[in-house]
Structure 1
């Protein structure tokens, strides 16, 4: 009898400890989840009648026949893409994007867009940059650069535009602002990057702008061109590096820089201590807006130790040999071969390469 009683007491204590642990972990999760901004996407985006004028460039527009050919291809692409979107329940797609607005209350254009695909069949995570200047058909608006879709209709219209033009399903989105990006890198202690003198010259312009926005002295954290080579960069300097576009390779190299930096951040975050991870989450989460519901987030957290072991790959749309730099209405745009890039993106995301 005493033995049975002892076993019962032991089981009760173990159960109590487990329950306390579960409650504590869930309370901790609720704390962090509650730090993020949450938004439910509307099936019918509210479209703005107008948005701030985009930057224009001097020069001659592309020949009318080239523009017409591109716009005809857009119509054909949407007609061909009216079938069901490419989908695989073992692949979870999240659009990560930042905006170019310096005002928290204003919708800027989506300055950078990276489609993060978690492929559980192949144990890999792929980051695919979507070039912001791709000339697309924006539902309810007309033809414009891809990055204008967010300014016209927020995340709902941005996701709808990508899905309809590129033919892939996007499960969720995460929006982050520039300052959270800087804070995360600073919490991680900075990152090492190989930078050229030309890159430093452009970086310093962005550093000056960030100093002005944050009320810092103009030259704080600027670099000297003699610093070219492998350098340890702060969050502000790394952000300036990611924004470089006025060098050889332009927007194409800019997206490559962004993916490189995100890859480094991902690798550093994997080795964070619990204390460092807490600091990282406190810096990042308040500046995130997402539509990932609580249940899905719990599932991602529970499998995080496995996800951190996945191979990390990066790519870009449009792929090489499938696009042409053009100028329409004095704006630089990218005219792409839609069938080729739809197929390429599906291959990248779903592992049919």
Structure 2
């Protein structure tokens, strides 16, 4: 009996030791995973060019505001108090400036026309407001036509895309606020030279092309879906031989939606590898913690419904030729027939 009792105690001690070893091993594995995830997250954030727009420097910003809130979930969000849009405003200046709300966040996506991958000195030929609505679970891609004739603070009237060249995001931000009555604090910019690298990093993209588009991009002469690499995708969004500014912005949104669709269908491992290549091509004035929040919520956002809009509509503007400031040449611009009505329509599109 005593021998049996001792054997039982030995088995019990061995079992406890095995359980202890298993627990310690599990703890070590979990710790390593957490540390590895944290290190990888820091690595990803280190790839992004965080910029300081206060002095228009596109160098790195090193400060991190740890108090910046990160919303870990987009579920269960309640709508704000209704935004007041006064349709009876007598002029553009009377329209209230709108901005972000508890559930609606507007981010300006910029494509900068420059041939160098390491700078953003150029015109913003792509100006898309990415409006994220957590309540309706929609993302609206709203193009502001680059050729729109606008008032630029401290400058003569010019095309919208000139504001970024003259004064970076700060001046573009002021220009949008003055002309569209929207306050947009955050941007993500990619220069066109780096754009093709992003498409290649995602393995190319499938786009439905018209017969003429296929001929210009030099991938065929039949209207159908084509798989475009980075260079061909860039050629596609840069097409100037057909259409106009409306056609260009439509192609920009088409490509952006196709990339988002592809990202949505990526497995986690492929997505991580793609982020590694894509983030190094981006610049933003978000804080690191804020940007991290968007990365964490990306899978949820990719499940949102995508909608499109552009300002202005073709039928609601003229395309006169006006003098290019400081020269004897002229340029064709897009001029709103009724700026007040166009702005109110934009506000209703974003805020409902």
SS in 1 for 2:101: coil
For residues 38 and 153 of structure 1, the distance between their equivalents in structure 2, rounded to whole angstroms, comes to 18
Structure 2 residue runs without a partner (length 5+): 1-12, 58-90, 324-329
For residues 297 and 346 of structure 1, the distance between their equivalents in structure 2, rounded to whole angstroms, comes to 25
Paired position in structure 2 for 1:133: 147
For residues 314-333 of structure 1, the aligned pairs below 5 Å read 314-329=308-323, 330-333=330-333
Question: What is the aligned counterpart of 2:225 among 230, 235, 238?
Answer: 230
For the 8 Å contact 1:45–1:157, the answer to whether it is kept is no
Paired position in structure 1 for 2:35: 23
Question: What is the aligned counterpart of 1:299 among 293, 303, 310?
Answer: 293
* Larger mean Cα displacement after TM superposition, 276-285 or 120-129: 276-285
Paired position in structure 1 for 2:69: none
CA shift at 1:152, angstroms?
0.3
Aligned residues: 299
For the 8 Å contact 2:187–2:284, the answer to whether it is kept is yes
For residues 283 and 5 of structure 1, the distance between their equivalents in structure 2, rounded to whole angstroms, comes to 46
CA shift at 1:189, angstroms?
2.7
Paired position in structure 2 for 1:239: 234
For the 8 Å contact 1:319–1:344, the answer to whether it is kept is no
CA deviations over 1:59-84 (Å, ceiling 9, x no partner): xxxxxxxxxxxxxxxxx53x335x44
CA deviations over 1:264-289 (Å, ceiling 9, x no partner): 11000112123422332232222211
- Structure 2 residue 98 is matched with structure 1 residue 85: yes
Label 1:10 to 1:312 Cα distance change in 2 as closer, same or farther (>3 A). Answer: same
Question: What is the aligned counterpart of 1:272 among 258, 266, 285?
Answer: 266
Paired position in structure 2 for 1:99: 112
SS in 2 for 1:303: helix
For residues 143-158 of structure 1, the aligned pairs below 5 Å read 143-158=157-172
SS in 1 for 2:286: coil
- Structure 2 residue 186 is matched with structure 1 residue 172: yes
For the 8 Å contact 2:214–2:223, the answer to whether it is kept is yes
For the 8 Å contact 1:36–1:289, the answer to whether it is kept is yes
For residues 47 and 56 of structure 2, the distance between their equivalents in structure 1, rounded to whole angstroms, comes to 26
| CA RMSD, Structure 1 to Structure 2 (Å) | 2.7
CA shift at 1:143, angstroms?
1.1
For residues 272 and 177 of structure 1, the distance between their equivalents in structure 2, rounded to whole angstroms, comes to 24
Label 1:84 to 1:252 Cα distance change in 2 as closer, same or farther (>3 A). Answer: closer
With CA pairs under 8 Å and 6+ residues apart, which has the higher RCO, 1 or 2? Answer: 1
For residues 188-227 of structure 1, the aligned pairs below 5 Å read 188-203=202-217, 222-224=218-220, 226-227=221-222
Bigger Rg over Cα:
2
